Amino acid sequence: MVKPDAVQRGLIGNIITKMEEKGLRLIALKMIQIDEDTASEHYAEHEGKDFYEPLLEYITSGPVVALALKGNSAISIVRTLVGKTDPKEASPGTIRGDHGIDIGRNVVHAADSKESAERELDIFFDDNEYLDYSRVEEDWIYE
């Protein structure tokens, strides 16, 4: 997910380009304004933590871009591309390392496991919103 700070800073294209250039295929995409109920569902695992309420306020403060990517090892590749959660610890060249400073404005969200990805994608996309296609260069990306 491209978070509100990245949307406001005009980083949507840059973030998507980084994913596509790596070889991941974009199969679903939408710009939305997350309401409080959806935000609570998305961040349910953090309920009760001291940063939970500020996180909900932030993620509902402006539009986000939800996206689904497909490719071999997509989850681990995306996690590597986005960098550590705290941008101060994220390596240069990662999305957070290049575009973030504060943990509360860390530009993107990425699922940390297959289970999380499936749960989170179900929040933002219906089954009929995914497109199944192949890109011509995939023969040059995968063995």
Q: Which band of pLDDT confidence, cut at 50, 70 and 90, is reported for residue 98?
A: very high
Q: What's the pLDDT at 90?
A: 98
Give all strands (DSSP E) within the chain, no chain letters.
25-32, 64-70
Whether residue 75 is contained in a domain is answered as: yes
Q: What is the pLDDT of residues 14-72, one digit of tens each?
A: 999 999 999 999 999 999 999 999 999 999 999 999 999 999 999 999 999 999 999 99
Whether residue 50 is contained in a domain is answered as: yes
* Element holding 25 (H helix, E strand): strand 25-32
Q: What's the pLDDT at 105?
A: 95
Q: What's the pLDDT at 22?
A: 97
Q: What is the mean pLDDT of residues 96-120?
A: 96
Whether residue 138 is contained in a domain is answered as: no
* Element holding 78 (H helix, E strand): helix 74-82
Nearest residue to 33 (alpha-carbon basis) of 130, 124, 129: 124
Cα(102)–Cα(96) distance, integer angstroms: 9
Whether residue 39 is contained in a domain is answered as: yes
Classify 73 as helix, strand or coil.
coil
Whether residue 135 is contained in a domain is answered as: no
Query: Average pLDDT over the chain, rounded to whole?
Result: 96
CATH number of 42's domain = 3.30.70.141
Q: What's the pLDDT at 81?
A: 98
DSSP 91: P
What is the extent of the structural domain holding 100? 4-130
Whether residue 48 is contained in a domain is answered as: yes
The number of distinct structural domains making up the chain is 1
Whether residue 99 is contained in a domain is answered as: yes
> In the chain, what percentage of residues exceed pLDDT 70?
100
Whether residue 137 is contained in a domain is answered as: no
Q: What's the pLDDT at 123?
A: 98
Catalytic residues: 109
